[in-house]
Structure 1
Amino acid sequence: MRQSVKHFIIIFTLYLISVLFFACGKANSEERVLKATHADDMWYPSSPKKLAETVDTYLDNAKSESIGKIIALISPHAGYKYCGQVMGYAYNQIKGMEIDTVVLVGSSHNYAFSGVAVYDSGVFRNPIGDVEIDSDLAKELIAQNPAIKSDPRPHISEHSLENQIPFLQRTLKNYKILPILIQDSSKQNCDILTSALVNVLKNKRILLVASTDMTHYPVYDEAVKADKYTISALETMNSSLMRKRLDDYMKRGINNLHCMLCGDGPVYVVMDTAKRLGADSVKVLKYANSGDIPDGLKNRVVGYMAVAFFKSDKSEQKETSISMDGALNKEQQETLLKLARNAIELYLRTGERIKFETDDQRLKVKQGAFVTLHKQGDLRGCIGHIIPIEALCDTVIDMAIASATEDPRFRRVTIDEMKDIDIEISVLSIPRKVKNADAIEMGKHGVIVSRGMRKGVFLPQVATETGWDKVTFLEHLCRDKAGLSKDAWKDPDTTIEIFTAQLFEEEK
């Protein structure tokens, strides 16, 4: 009997300890406190004074960029010894901003779960002080989708969000946080969180922060090359394109390259959410890796970047509000053709996205475009954006690279082929819906047909190049491009849209 009582006491004691642990050290959720488990002088200083001084030094040593309204940041989360200065470049940009809630999005490194885990009440404790959770906003977010749950467990031992707190404490006042973790970085899971965030964050004074490091564990030179590749993909502000490019790079079999981004999902979520909340530009503020510090090893490194997503100043937007249907002159056409070629060649040689600055406001207008490659008269690649999502010059850069490297119908273009490649650019008007095919003028209009998730597009020049009549043109478009029946264009449930294009090509 005495032995049984002893066993009962032991089991009951362990039970109480586990309950207290998973409740983050509190007896009830209203008093939930997440302790600073990484204030251990290895990740960051445990002394309040030393921690504040360390963070302030990183901030003071960081250059501040003159950019528009910041909506989101990307910041690393390693030990401050390695990435603290990079973090300083990110957080120096928000000094003194009036922000009600900072939405922190990170990847769970230690705890497996599905969906989205929100830390929805209480505080995050830190040597500098406690930071309150925005429990009202957390409740709104959780109500958006069953996949988004209140779950403090993944947060308990996680460092990716905790490490951001001291920098927030030294740059902002009177703010709350909303900590969010994901482990599943699939497009489906990221899109669920993105849509929910957009719904609850509209018209609020918020800052989004994606927590991620970059390449893990290749040698220094390979890390720099891979990280530059990631940055060039990030600068497109196109998460689908970025996701594909990073997946493709991982297939190259680089020795000891474990990942391109350990927080890829948070980056996609924050980038897409920021765009839908008004961000139209991105700025890489700082890049470095663990091999850059004085005693850093070069044979096994981790990369770090500081990035801001922002909304351009209204004055700049006003300057670039030229009609997108305005025709490009000969000089502008030649500029874009040269830009497309240079972008492809640089990317094929180095994996880097070309940098391009221009004072020509017409080239800064958001506009859709296709870039088409021909080799000795035969199609070699063609990819484009129909809907305008970025400046025309940036669209041309991204579509030129994609046409050379991502068209699924062709193998990747090689640098040796470029001497035989001719480049053609089609700059598009905004598509408009029409009632039926009678509105289509062959040779003038490009056409989009869509039904449900299926969609196909032909540029205006397809009719001229093939000699097809309208019926044949539409049958091929429906069957070959949209995956519909050849007569789908006759169905009232099929949407038909038309657009025009200004076509120009390199001189032979």
Structure 2
Amino acid sequence: GATCARRPAGGGAPDAPAVAAADATSGGADAGVESAAPPPGPAGRLFGLIAPHAGYMYSGAVAGHAWKLLAGHGAAPAAESTTGPETVFPAQVAGGFYPADPAELRALVERYLADAAPPIAPAVGPVGTVIVMAPSHHYPLAGAAVLADDAYETPLGRVRVDTALRRRLVELAGLDLVVDSSYFQREHALEVQLPFLQVALPEARVLPLIVGDTANGAGDRLGAVLATLCSERPDLVIVASSDMSHFYSYDEAVAFDEENLRALETRDLAAFERTGQGRSGMCGYDPVRTALVALRAAAGAGARVVRLRYANSGDVTGERDRVVGYGALALLTVEAAPAADVAAPEPPVAATGTAAEGPETGAARAAPAAAGEATMFTREERQTLLDIAKAAVRAAVRGESYRPPEPAAEALRAPGAAFVTLRKHGDLRGCIGHVVATLPLYRCVAEVAEAAATQDYRFDPVTPQELEQLTFEISVLTPPEVVTDPTTIRVGRDGLIVSRGRNRGLLLPQVPEEQGWNREQFLDGTCRKAGLPAGCWRDPETRLERFQAVVWGENLEDVLS
């Protein structure tokens, strides 16, 4: 059966280790698009940063523009013991994403900071602890994970974890957070920020967080918790780690990245949720969105986001066919907004994973209210989406860039959530999708088809030799709704999502029919998919949601009866 899981985007050459050419990077990635001019009015106080996390030769200069705002503003937090750390988490990517030699690493970071010229100079500090949030590139995670160890080691030494702050975070975050260092293994997105912290704020501590899938309101809840922590501890600063678009041509990347930069600068969560996910968005979408929620909760109408620098890997390498974007932004709070802003209400905070996502106009046709309305997609529209899915997989497997052409059909341009299932000789070969309609349906299908072929952690990536042996199936989903009475679930119509704490599992509506399951077996199977025991759906702490889907395969006929 198609047992699918959402996976974070990311990876690839300009997002990968690149230490050998680090000597050539001074000013390289800084040669990109100029920063926006500082906004009028008060510069404000620094609340947080968004900084890229690729290999230093690619994104180090851009990251320097963010961390430059913190340089020299550190102060050790007072509420911690001065005894040595009990457990130390070792460096994971030293010698890959950044130099392993301490002297070389320090000199490189110092040069990035010295060369940076951010366009604003907000009030800062003293900063005692930096909350660094990064996405998970390797392990599925619902909610967030905080490092369980007492320090994180890099070639520059150990960065002490603020354990008092960790205890407070655990107290406030509840089931949205797990204390588990295993999620930090192999992860570069968090670790590459630490040498910048060690040079810019040598006495500061860190609270390392991996932020995974923040659907079902987890991102909103975690953002509110971070805002509370910052109100309790004025010595805190948040850093969200993220690159931008991945593997488009230079001009395409600049266009996609500009959409996301504008959404962030205007603090427009609804726009960012439409543009910020997938390959054309930000691989750190979840931590960035969580930081933006925290800023809005903390500052209200006084929230500001200022672009400090943008560039992409093509500015460093000269290769413009396939690039990765990098942005540095400052999150600010101001005491008083200009009069023109005071009257304008802030964009509403959309709860991820609910029907509030995206415009309603046209969405009903792209994601009908029930599987019985499958005929609302014409055969031509279904064929168009199949063709897009196949083209996306071919391009990804061959290492080529692909941007789907915008279709004429309004139903395919409307926001939609979809899964693409790949089979080889009838056996599952990959299946990944989005549960929430944040992208135009045709773009969603292209992105999840590529991910199903290359990022499904249960399988090796599809090879070019397998392309002719694959069959495709597309499932277009309705928005999930909470189930309070499991007896109302109907096999053959409903798909299920089971979540509890950091565990989350999804099964598409066609799975129980393929397996010959009844309702209770379907519920138990979804529990097992979430890594929970069968019967967990009876536990009041377990969240149960359902959705419907329009499903078709190569013959364009409805799969569900």
TM-score (norm 2): 0.47
Residue of structure 2 equivalent to 1:322? 361
Q: CA deviation at 1:305?
A: 4.4
Q: 1:456 to 1:292 in 2, by over 3 A?
A: closer
Rg (Cα) greater in structure: 1
Figure out how many residues of one structure are paired with residues of the other and give that number.
Answer: 348
Residue of structure 2 equivalent to 1:288? 314
Please list every run of 5 or more consecutive structure 1 residues that lacks an aligned counterpart in the other structure: 1-73, 110-118, 126-132, 147-153, 203-207, 215-223, 246-264, 294-302
Residue of structure 2 equivalent to 1:189? 208
* 3-state SS of paired residue (1:368): strand
User: Matched residues in 1 for 2:499 and 2:419: separation?
Assistant: 19
User: Matched residues in 2 for 1:354 and 1:468: separation?
Assistant: 39
Paired AA for residue 227 in structure 2:
N
* 3-state SS of paired residue (1:352): coil
User: Matched residues in 2 for 1:213 and 1:471: separation?
Assistant: 43
Residue of structure 2 equivalent to 1:53? none
1:199 aligns with 2:227: yes
* 3-state SS of paired residue (2:388): helix
Residue of structure 2 equivalent to 1:506? 554
Q: 1:95 to 1:291 in 2, by over 3 A?
A: same
Q: CA deviation at 1:419?
A: 1.6
Residue of structure 1 equivalent to 2:119? 168
- 1:185-334 superposed matches below 5 A: 185-186=189-190, 189-191=208-210, 195=223, 199=227, 237-238=276-277, 270=288, 273=291, 287-290=313-316, 292=318, 305=325, 307=327, 320-326=359-365, 327=368, 329-330=377-378, 331-334=380-383
Residue of structure 2 equivalent to 1:373? 422
Conservation of the 8 A alpha-carbon contact between 1:347 and 1:354? no
Residue of structure 2 equivalent to 1:455? 504
Could you tell me the percent identity over the aligned residues? 27
Q: 1:323 to 1:99 in 2, by over 3 A?
A: farther
User: Matched residues in 1 for 2:26 and 2:326: separation?
Assistant: 14
User: Matched residues in 1 for 2:417 and 2:292: separation?
Assistant: 21
Q: CA deviation at 1:444?
A: 0.8
The C-alpha deviation readout for 1:67-100, integer Å capped at 9, x for no partner, is xxxxxxx9x99867534431xx141x44766673
Q: CA deviation at 1:225?
A: 10
Q: CA deviation at 1:446?
A: 0.8
The C-alpha deviation readout for 1:121-178, integer Å capped at 9, x for no partner, is 99979xxxxxxx8x9xx99xx89x98xxxxxxx999734455342x516xxxx85568
Conservation of the 8 A alpha-carbon contact between 2:423 and 2:430? yes
Q: CA deviation at 1:500?
A: 0.7
Q: CA deviation at 1:272?
A: 5.8
Conservation of the 8 A alpha-carbon contact between 1:161 and 1:211? no
User: Matched residues in 2 for 1:162 and 1:415: separation?
Assistant: 46
Q: CA deviation at 1:345?
A: 0.7
The C-alpha deviation readout for 1:347-386, integer Å capped at 9, x for no partner, is 1111535354456554344432211112232222111222
* 3-state SS of paired residue (1:408): coil
Q: 1:383 to 1:99 in 2, by over 3 A?
A: farther
Residue of structure 1 equivalent to 2:530? 482
1:100 aligns with 2:43: yes
Conservation of the 8 A alpha-carbon contact between 1:457 and 1:482? yes
- 1:52-131 superposed matches below 5 A: 82-86=28-32, 89-91=33-35, 93-94=36-37, 100-101=43-44, 103-104=48-49
Q: 1:107 to 1:425 in 2, by over 3 A?
A: closer
Paired AA for residue 273 in structure 1:
A
User: Matched residues in 2 for 1:419 and 1:121: separation?
Assistant: 51
Q: CA deviation at 1:493?
A: 3.4
Paired AA for residue 82 in structure 1:
G
Conservation of the 8 A alpha-carbon contact between 2:419 and 2:433? yes
Paired AA for residue 115 in structure 2:
N
Residue of structure 1 equivalent to 2:491? 442
* 3-state SS of paired residue (2:550): strand
User: Matched residues in 1 for 2:496 and 2:116: separation?
Assistant: 48
Paired AA for residue 498 in structure 1:
R
Q: CA deviation at 1:441?
A: 1.2
**Runs of 4+ residues deviating >6 angstroms:** 76-80, 119-125, 154-157, 177-184, 208-214, 224-236, 239-243, 275-279
Conservation of the 8 A alpha-carbon contact between 2:396 and 2:454? no
Q: CA deviation at 1:268?
A: 8.0
- 1:316-395 superposed matches below 5 A: 320-326=359-365, 327=368, 329-330=377-378, 331-350=380-399, 352-358=401-407, 360-395=409-444
Q: 1:159 to 1:367 in 2, by over 3 A?
A: farther
Q: 1:356 to 1:198 in 2, by over 3 A?
A: farther
Q: CA deviation at 1:199?
A: 2.8
Provide the aligned C-alpha RMSD in A: 5.8
Q: CA deviation at 1:339?
A: 1.2
Please list every run of 5 or more consecutive structure 2 residues that lacks an aligned counterpart in the other structure: 1-14, 16-21, 57-65, 81-105, 133-153, 155-187, 192-206, 212-218, 232-237, 261-274, 297-303, 330-346, 348-355, 369-375, 557-561
Q: CA deviation at 1:450?
A: 2.6
Paired AA for residue 363 in structure 2:
M
* 3-state SS of paired residue (2:364): coil
User: Matched residues in 1 for 2:387 and 2:468: separation?
Assistant: 13
Of the two structures, which has the highest relative contact order with CA contacts closer than 8 Å and spacing of 6 or more?
2
* 3-state SS of paired residue (2:314): strand
Paired AA for residue 485 in structure 2:
N
User: Matched residues in 1 for 2:114 and 2:519: separation?
Assistant: 61
1:431 aligns with 2:470: no
User: Matched residues in 1 for 2:543 and 2:224: separation?
Assistant: 28
Paired AA for residue 364 in structure 2:
D
The C-alpha deviation readout for 1:289-316, integer Å capped at 9, x for no partner, is 44549xxxxxxxxx8845599xxxx9xx
Conservation of the 8 A alpha-carbon contact between 1:232 and 1:353? no
* 3-state SS of paired residue (2:439): coil
Conservation of the 8 A alpha-carbon contact between 1:432 and 1:499? yes
Q: CA deviation at 1:460?
A: 1.1
Paired AA for residue 456 in structure 1:
G
The C-alpha deviation readout for 1:376-428, integer Å capped at 9, x for no partner, is 32222111222334333332222111211222332221222222211111111
Paired AA for residue 336 in structure 1:
L
Conservation of the 8 A alpha-carbon contact between 2:358 and 2:437? no
* 3-state SS of paired residue (2:517): coil
* 3-state SS of paired residue (2:522): helix
Conservation of the 8 A alpha-carbon contact between 2:499 and 2:530? yes
User: Matched residues in 1 for 2:131 and 2:530: separation?
Assistant: 37
The C-alpha deviation readout for 1:39-69, integer Å capped at 9, x for no partner, is xxxxxxxxxxxxxxxxxxxxxxxxxxxxxxx
Paired AA for residue 419 in structure 2:
F
Paired AA for residue 448 in structure 2:
M
* 3-state SS of paired residue (1:380): strand
* 3-state SS of paired residue (1:189): strand
Residue of structure 2 equivalent to 1:19? none
* 3-state SS of paired residue (1:393): helix
User: Matched residues in 2 for 1:287 and 1:162: separation?
Assistant: 21
User: Matched residues in 2 for 1:271 and 1:155: separation?
Assistant: 32
Conservation of the 8 A alpha-carbon contact between 2:241 and 2:287? no
Conservation of the 8 A alpha-carbon contact between 2:404 and 2:446? no
Conservation of the 8 A alpha-carbon contact between 2:51 and 2:328? no
Q: 1:444 to 1:507 in 2, by over 3 A?
A: same
